[in-house]
């Protein structure tokens, strides 16, 4: 049975993470689609989620009077990221596949240009660039299937962060 504080905080922060993610996506969408290819947006997003995770675990540990096992810390974080990623993915599916499907095509073209640029900077042979372009054209990164695949990757990647944060926030053993 999951502790009520862990469940409540995980759900609350999960909804917050999902809303923040949807707002970031909506803001980028409204300002300039080119921002989706900016590396600093990705770094800023990761930092935002990391800060929210730290706040979540700090708050939960405090509410549990400092008694916070590794399992409880990870469970709290995992609930939050799972809900957050699901909300974010649902928003992205709605935005890019129902509200404005043409943005999906525009973003695919921008991603291809960005990829070609990066590959040329690294001196990649033209044959490898052409192969990469054909693969990118086969799968739109904003199609429903690709967004769902990306959400699985996000859950795995976030879980690694969660394991690290859980190790940091767990209570110190009384048998030291």
Domain ranges across the chain: 4-169
Q: How far apart are CA 31 and CA 35, in angstroms?
A: 8
How does residue 172 score in pLDDT terms, banded at 50, 70 and 90?
confident
pTM of the model: 0.90
* Pair of tokens at residue 33: 């689609």
Using the predicted structure, report yes or no on whether residue 174 has a pLDDT greater than 60.
no
Q: What is the pLDDT of residue 139?
A: 83
**Any residues with CB less than 8 A from the CB of 79 and at least 6 apart, and which?**
6, 7, 10, 11, 14
| Segment holding 114, helix H or strand E | helix 101-121
Per-residue model confidence as pLDDT tens digits over 132-148 = 889 888 888 899 999 99
Q: How far apart are CA 155 and CA 167, in angstroms?
A: 18
3-state helix, strand, coil in the chain (%, to 5): 85, 0, 15
* Pair of tokens at residue 94: 């709605």
Per-residue model confidence as pLDDT tens digits over 81-130 = 999 999 999 999 999 999 999 999 999 899 999 999 999 999 999 999 99
| Beta carbons of 41 and 28 less than 8 angstroms apart | yes
Residue 5 phi, psi (nearest 5)? -65, -45
Q: Summarize the confidence of residues 29-51 as an average pLDDT.
A: 92
Q: What is the pLDDT of residue 52?
A: 95
Using the predicted structure, report yes or no on whether residue 173 has a pLDDT greater than 70.
no
């Amino acid at each position: 049975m999951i502790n009520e504080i862990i469940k409540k905080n995980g759900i609350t922060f999960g909804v917050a993470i999902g809303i923040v993610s949807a707002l970031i996506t909506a803001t980028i969408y409204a300002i300039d689609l080119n921002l989706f290819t900016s590396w600093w947006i990705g770094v800023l997003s990761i930092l935002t989620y990391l800060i929210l995770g730290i706040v979540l675990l700090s708050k939960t540990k405090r509410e549990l009077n400092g008694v916070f096992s590794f399992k409880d810390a990870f469970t709290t974080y995992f609930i939050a990221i799972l809900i957050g990623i699901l909300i974010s993915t649902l928003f992205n599916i709605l935005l890019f596949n129902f509200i404005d499907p043409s943005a999906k095509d525009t973003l695919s073209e921008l991603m291809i240009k960005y990829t070609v640029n990066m590959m040329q900077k690294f001196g990649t042979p033209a044959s490898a660039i052409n192969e990469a372009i054909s693969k990118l054209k086969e799968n739109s990164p904003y199609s429903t299937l690709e967004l769902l695949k990306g959400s699985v990757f996000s859950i795995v990647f976030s879980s690694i962060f969660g394991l690290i944060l859980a190790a940091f926030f767990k209570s110190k053993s009384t048998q030291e």
